[in-house]
Amino acid sequence: MRYISTRRGPNTPTRSFSDILLEGLAPDGGLYLPEEYPTLSVSDLDELRIVLREEGYAAMAAGILSLFVDDIDATDLCAITARAYSTPAFSDPQIVPVTALEGTDLHIAHLSNGPTAAFKDMAMQLLGELFEYELTRRGDWLTIVGA
């Protein structure tokens, strides 16, 4: 899968997932988006529900990510999500437990079970693992300062 800049500058080539992962913003200041989006059928969504139920959140996350990431081996992607979405980093073994609201068709996803008790843990745990994987693969390093 290739990614393009939202600003589509004339000198902004398409990039792979691993390249944009480490690059951040496009050289023209835009954000990267997939050149084409995958299409999911109802049966695809049903299959993801089965994976979630039988194999857990990390396996489902790997399945979804594989639709957007074709330059990281599927086995490696599964290992990355397994490290990112596991206990004790997340306090609940379901990672994202879901509560049905009684008497409705509504459900609440609990996204605050990560190490900082904030929804951002869902992205940051994965991002850290992806950075480590790709930097190791390239034999490179990166210093990240966060506030």
Q: How many domains does the chain have?
A: 2
pTM over 0.85: yes
Q: What is the CATH number of the domain that holds 7?
A: 3.90.1380.10
The residue segments making up the domain with residue 15 are: 1-37
Chain segment 102-138, per-residue pLDDT in tens = 999 999 999 999 999 999 999 999 999 999 999 999 9
* Cα–Cα nearest to 58, from 95, 3, 13: 95
Percent above pLDDT 70 for the chain: 99
Q: Catalytic pick from 120, 123, 132, 142?
A: 120
Chain segment 60-71, per-residue pLDDT in tens = 999 999 999 999
Q: Please state, in angstroms and as integers, the Cα–Cα distance from residue 5 to each residue in 38, 39, 102, 131, following that order.
A: 18, 21, 44, 21
Please tell me whether residues 61 and 7 are part of one structural domain. Answer: no
Please tell me whether residues 64 and 90 are part of one structural domain. Answer: yes
Contact yes or no for 13/23 (Cβ under 8 A): no
Please tell me whether residues 86 and 127 are part of one structural domain. Answer: yes
To the query of whether residue 120 is one of the catalytic residues in this protein, the response is yes
